[in-house]
Amino acid sequence: MSVPPEEAAKDVFEVVPIIMREIRSVMRSKRPPVLTVPQYRALSFVDRNAGASLLDVANHLGLTPPSTSKLVDGLIGHGLMTREEQPVDRRRLKLAVTDRGHKDMIAARQGTLAYLTDRLRNMDEGDREVIARAMKALHLIFTGNPKIGERWG
């Protein structure tokens, strides 16, 4: 049976927001610490790319520089990230995750993954394979990057 792009689009549009709400809810419910999804994503990126600049983070998150600046502000305010000046190019920041930021990030990740894993446990193994394949295909068309999972080491 052939699936036209219109139908797949409708399915994605209906299901993705539902799952996203779950993810957000789980991630924000860990307390303390409380991490929002963008905060988690920023921490995770800087954790893997120590010394990243603000624009690096903005590009990775798909946010504008001002939004990212505010986001980083909040993380620094909570002691989860640091902002350093670089002697090489004083315009460019050097962001880094603190120990506490690293721990909070890991906690948020594990909590969310545990929840999702639990949800995915009681289903047909074939369905799980379909989901994994679908996610890889979606990742490719939405990011252009065929690699997935590298953020997980």
- Given a contact cutoff of 8 angstroms between Cβ atoms, the answer to whether 24 and 17 are in contact is no
d(CA 39, CA 80): 10
Which one, 1 or 88, has the nearer CB to DNA? Answer: 88
Asked if residue 147 binds a copy of itself (CB under 8 A), the reply is no
Report, in Å, the least distance between residue 19 CB and DNA: 13
Tokens 């295909």 -> residue: 137
Q: Which residues contact 136 (CB under 8 A, 6 or more apart)?
A: 146, 148
Restricted to residues 24-83, the positions that interact with a copy of itself (CB under 8 A) are 25, 37, 41, 62
> 31, 41, 51: which is closest to 71 by C-alpha?
41
Instruction: State the nearest-atom distance from the C-beta of 65 to DNA, in Å.
Output: 4
Return residues touching a copy of itself (CB under 8 A). Answer: 1-23, 25, 37, 41, 62, 109, 112-113, 116-125, 127-139, 141-143, 148-149, 151-152
